[in-house]
Chains A and B, each alone.
Chain A
């Protein structure tokens, strides 16, 4: 059962790049890494997913080192609207989605 550890909170300013790191020391060979964003009183929203190296989409990048024991979500040039809670999930849903658990997340506050 891969457990994740993230910082509880982070502060940033508009226009800066934000990097949120998630530790998952017990990640298994078939586990994928997925990040979600959640605004208050809304359901989580998928941001990005990866298995190894680097993944980039229109909103974020995900960096995964060779040992895969951690991953870093990178948000370029954040704005006030990026203020939210960010969750890192690790698991292999082919066999047991119970393992794909949300932790407490990282509360990102973007200041003007």
Chain B
């Protein structure tokens, strides 16, 4: 089975622009979560979607939004990019919504650079 896939691998944008990142979960997984990882820090939780509904949201501004499609793939959108949005954006999928007892499988990430 293929793992979690993310696209694009790398992305360079300028301040004020908008970006869309894409994630395809492992087949059969209904939960997709998004994380932001700034260099030198641990991943920070942004969103979780389960069965196309938002189930969790981290402490990120409204410039960040996401959605999940009927095939369980997901997109993360970031508007009005700031320099501080430069990071590795990780997508993780799992069978259920419960991180405490279910394993999250992470993709390789999208490296976003904002100039």
- Chain A residues with a Cβ under 8 A of chain B: 30-32, 34, 41-46, 49, 85, 87, 89, 91-94, 96-98, 100-105
Contacts and interface: CB of A to CB of B under 8 A. Distances in A.
Contacts, number: 75
B2 to A, nearest CB: 14
A89 B35 CA distance: 14
A36 B77 CA distance: 26
Nearest to B35: A102
B100 A92 contact: yes
A46 B44 CA distance: 16
B33 to A, nearest CB: 7
Given A98-B57, A100-B45, A93 B105 contact: no
Contact of A44 (B43, B57, B97, B102): B43
A105 to B, nearest CB: 5
Contact of B99 (A43, A45, A91, A105): A91
Nearest to B98: A93
A68 to B, nearest CB: 13
Interface in B6-28: none
A101 B88 CA distance: 16
